[in-house]
């Protein structure tokens, strides 16, 4: 049995195959995922699992050098923005428009769809290296 915290085999597989600067996204249940991007759907019911719960688990397994979020997040969902900052204390955060973020999803190895039902609870994580 797997020893690390992340038990979801689909998420673990994607992370294990990621190289430096590859991207994976975590989104709320309303985020439009491009057809060409792999969807890992962990949504069960409203807010389960939450965006932040999912982010925290992914961060246990993935070395992140940069996070990309929609600039609108700061004003429209300051609670989630604050939680993101707490989770990513030493990680560069880049802001782009929500429309640009949706386009950037096409470059991601996968998008993890959560049960989150608050606006702009979305992030793209850029893989770093552990050496």
Detail the residues annotated as belonging to a binding site. Answer: 28, 98, 120-122
Catalytic option among 7, 17, 20, 100: 20
Residues comprising the binding site for substrate?
A: 28, 98, 120-122
Sign of the CA dihedral running 107, 112, 117, 118:
negative
Closest C-alpha among 26, 49, 6 to residue 110:
26
Q: How far apart are CA 81 and CA 39, in angstroms?
A: 23
Sign of the CA dihedral running 10, 119, 52, 47:
negative
Residue 20 annotated to the active site: yes
Q: How far apart are CA 110 and CA 25, in angstroms?
A: 6
Residues catalogued as catalytic: 20
């Amino acid at each position: 049995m797997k020893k690390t915290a992340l038990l979801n085999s689909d998420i673990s597989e994607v992370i294990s195959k990621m190289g430096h600067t590859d991207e994976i996204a975590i989104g709320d249940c309303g985020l439009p995922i491009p057809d060409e991007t792999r969807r890992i759907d962990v949504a069960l019911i409203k807010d389960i699992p939450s965006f932040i719960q999912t982010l925290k688990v992914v961060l246990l397994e993935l070395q992140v050098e940069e996070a990309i979020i929609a600039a609108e997040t700061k004003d429209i969902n300051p609670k989630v923005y604050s939680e993101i900052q707490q989770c990513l204390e030493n990680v560069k955060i880049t802001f782009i428009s929500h429309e640009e973020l949706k386009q950037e999803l096409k470059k991601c190895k996968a998008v993890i769809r959560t049960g989150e039902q608050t606006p702009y609870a979305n992030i793209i994580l850029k893989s770093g290296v552990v050496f």
